[in-house]
A and B are shown apart, each in its own frame.
Chain A
């Protein structure tokens, strides 16, 4: 495929989606029943899409990697969801939410998609309320808001520190209703193993039953990938253990192009790493930056004394603290976007001012507790404080929290057009699995917004537009050549992994991958590190295929085998990430190239040469992938240097 057609409708930005909806093709109810849709993934994006498509009357099958949709990692989102309701009368509007999101993404997102996102966001709040989500209320009984990074208005709706949980349970309840009604069939403990493409159209998938090891075939008229992101290539991340980019890689192998793989979000407020045995990192919600103040000691000797355990941070005087975000970015202070807050923390720690084991900064609630009282802080963040105390064994009401950046979200993903369709007809991608809305950096409280916008309000329209042309297309049998071939190749892959019987465990190799990615393709990148990473990853790939040790068997529950399969795909994806990071000779959003900075040490974008989406095409085993460009044309927004000062 040589051209990437983003299929953005003509006309004014604010009219594109309305026009699209009024002119798209529809499918009548009798025909909907004849059309099958497969949804892979049950997080916000998958559950909301399956529920909405099921309610419309399509036959939906949904596949869940865990025992229940409620386990999906959307559940862990803490802080909130954005919408431009302007309930606070603080000047918010769809235009402002659009502007903030584009600017937050450092002008690397597609204008029309982001505008549509901002436009439909309000409906998500209404939908959630109707579902019975207990959003926070004020004393008048109306919806309450808080602020998040990268914005000067209060537009974030929340349910304590468990907004993701409540929104996911809302989508799960909508899904449960459809399962009961029989419009959606649910298959739990299944992992996608391959995409089946027939005559150039996505027509089904191969799954592996994680309980029995059995390979299964499923056919459909269209497939939706709602499989989340690939942050776990870094081994340590805030992602759940089951999160993986494997399904996306399978689609990439089958011809779906992968966009901006190097755009990874490093979240500034996570609990720091404590030991070699650590399996994952825990996020402390960005909402904490509403009231918490970030600092390190002003004097390097104090930082040293703290690290050696000789000094207690609470005894450090106000004038000896460096509230570096407030100092560097007075307009946004502690609420600068995530990429900026992360880099600033790294900068201080690299300069020797880090606390804890040297890789941590303080997030302090002393001022807020004095101002608002302990009860108010407890009401706002109680569960987060409890979580911190359970993990670190330190009471955050008495002592400042320690935080450090960690991998959190991947803005890159499967390339999609305005319809959220990938480069394979009939294959759609939504939520974190696609790339379209967050550019080079995602603003806080926007992931929930995007996953649900796609699932509830975009896909039901755009997929219908696609399926309207398929009403005469008969169901395909799963007993045909393409399914045979796909299943055979999956079986061979499984057998070859089992046959290696090498020396290194999957976890060992995964840690090695994580180490390479964090050190060389992490927060601070440069050509030298990236050039080193590429052969290191190639070596690791060879080592995996010759030296991995997977015990147990293929015909029962075997988590080691499942992890090994994902790791194989993660190594390959990491190679593309490193290549993409190397070609992008600029700093933008989460992608920070140390060679491309301003005199003040801020990221320096290169709009002239890099205002495009890097879209990677798989060319076969052993071949180098090729990068295509989707040029970003900003027709309606005034592109500026990001300035949060």
Chain B
């Protein structure tokens, strides 16, 4: 397969970015998208150029490190996959591929296609956990959890923190990301004691970092590689309202 690639290049956060065009030939349809970029990079090194920077790590769809905006979609044209799991066979009949970094104010570009996503960690640090320290906890089976609740919590917990939901949203809203964590812990008895304070703090941090509000278009759900459902946003809103109205704990 042959392609024309239009790739965003930007030396650093302050530099002005631009699209550069590259031609690439004889790519196997079984090649993954990132392997295609590896091939391109090897040719750039052979031409003594600086290779294109892009984040990637596990290359099996679980670490959440990779994330490219490909032909207008986070993680490209296939559904329910990360960029690293995307294969070139999905580009049958496509001539030009445009590759951009995640575009969101709280995700400044570091170089080329690499963005700074530490804002995600900052929101988790506001209470996206149960405040338990090591040791002194009850036996695992002392806390029975209904199977359907555990399964639902697992669905929310399968978020990989890639940021595709934010890149897909025209408001750069992080509500699916935050909603997934709030929901996971609100469903479980272990997360209950801190539920009211957690949702308030995480939402406040989300606003502070410059993430926008929900647009109700659910592009986030459509583009999530792990198919996290928008009901997580509803759940977060419910938890938030309950916290504000009923809870005695406010921030």
Contact partner of A387 (CB less than 8 A), chosen from B60, B78, B151, is: B60
Q: Which of B60, B120, B130 has the most CB of A within 10 A?
A: B60
> Is the CB–CB distance between B140 and A283 below 8 Å?
no
Stretch of A99-107, A273-281, A301-309, A430-438 on the interface side: A273-281
Answer whether residue A326 sits at the interface, using C-beta atoms and an 8 A cutoff.
no
Bound complex: CA A143 to CA B141 (Å): 6
| Per-residue interface assignment for chain B, residues 122 to 140, with 1 indicating a CB less than 8 Å from any chain A CB and 0 otherwise | 0011111111111101111
Note all chain A residues with C-beta closer than 8 A to B132: 127, 130-131, 174
Stretch of B35-43, B164-172, B210-218 on the interface side: B35-43
> Is the CB–CB distance between B125 and A179 below 8 Å?
yes
User: Smallest distance from the beta carbon of B140 to chain A beta carbons, Å?
Assistant: 4
> Is the CB–CB distance between B145 and A137 below 8 Å?
yes
**A contacts with B, residue count (CB < 8 A):** 86
Answer whether residue B20 sits at the interface, using C-beta atoms and an 8 A cutoff.
no
Note all chain A residues with C-beta closer than 8 A to B154: 134, 136, 159-160, 162, 166
Contact partner of A134 (CB less than 8 A), chosen from B11, B49, B133, B188, is: B188
B57 to chain A: closest residue by CB: A240
Note all chain A residues with C-beta closer than 8 A to B11: 556
Answer whether residue A139 sits at the interface, using C-beta atoms and an 8 A cutoff.
yes
B124 to chain A: closest residue by CB: A176
> Is the CB–CB distance between B46 and A393 below 8 Å?
no
Answer whether residue A545 sits at the interface, using C-beta atoms and an 8 A cutoff.
no
Answer whether residue A551 sits at the interface, using C-beta atoms and an 8 A cutoff.
yes
A508 to chain B: closest residue by CB: B42
Note all chain B residues with C-beta closer than 8 A to A48: 134
Answer whether residue A55 sits at the interface, using C-beta atoms and an 8 A cutoff.
yes
> Is the CB–CB distance between B141 and A87 below 8 Å?
yes
Decide: A390 near B87, CB < 8 A? Known: A131-B132, A174-B132.
yes
B161 to chain A: closest residue by CB: A70
Note all chain A residues with C-beta closer than 8 A to B127: 180
Decide: A559 near B53, CB < 8 A? Known: A391-B85, A456-B134.
yes
Answer whether residue A335 sits at the interface, using C-beta atoms and an 8 A cutoff.
no
Interface of chain B, helix or strand or loop or mixed?
loop
In chain A, residues 130-155, which have Cβ atoms closer than 8 Å to a Cβ of chain B?
130-143
Bound complex: CA A558 to CA B49 (Å): 12
Answer whether residue A241 sits at the interface, using C-beta atoms and an 8 A cutoff.
yes
Decide: A76 near B111, CB < 8 A? Known: A67-B118, A279-B34.
no
Note all chain B residues with C-beta closer than 8 A to A558: 50
Bound complex: CA A505 to CA B47 (Å): 11
> Is the CB–CB distance between B60 and A55 below 8 Å?
no
Note all chain B residues with C-beta closer than 8 A to A218: none
A390 to chain B: closest residue by CB: B85
> Is the CB–CB distance between B64 and A71 below 8 Å?
yes
Bound complex: CA A69 to CA B124 (Å): 12
B65 to chain A: closest residue by CB: A71
Decide: A123 near B184, CB < 8 A? Known: A71-B64, A505-B45.
no
Answer whether residue B61 sits at the interface, using C-beta atoms and an 8 A cutoff.
yes
In chain A, residues 190-219, which have Cβ atoms closer than 8 Å to a Cβ of chain B?
211
Bound complex: CA A127 to CA B153 (Å): 17
A-B pairs, 3 with minimum CB distance: A173-B129, A141-B144, A130-B137
What are 22 residue pairs bridging A and B, where the CB atoms are less than 8 Å apart in the complex?
A52-B133, A85-B141, A130-B132, A130-B138, A131-B130, A132-B184, A134-B145, A134-B153, A134-B157, A134-B188, A141-B146, A157-B140, A159-B157, A176-B121, A177-B133, A188-B118, A211-B110, A240-B57, A240-B58, A275-B31, A456-B135, A560-B45
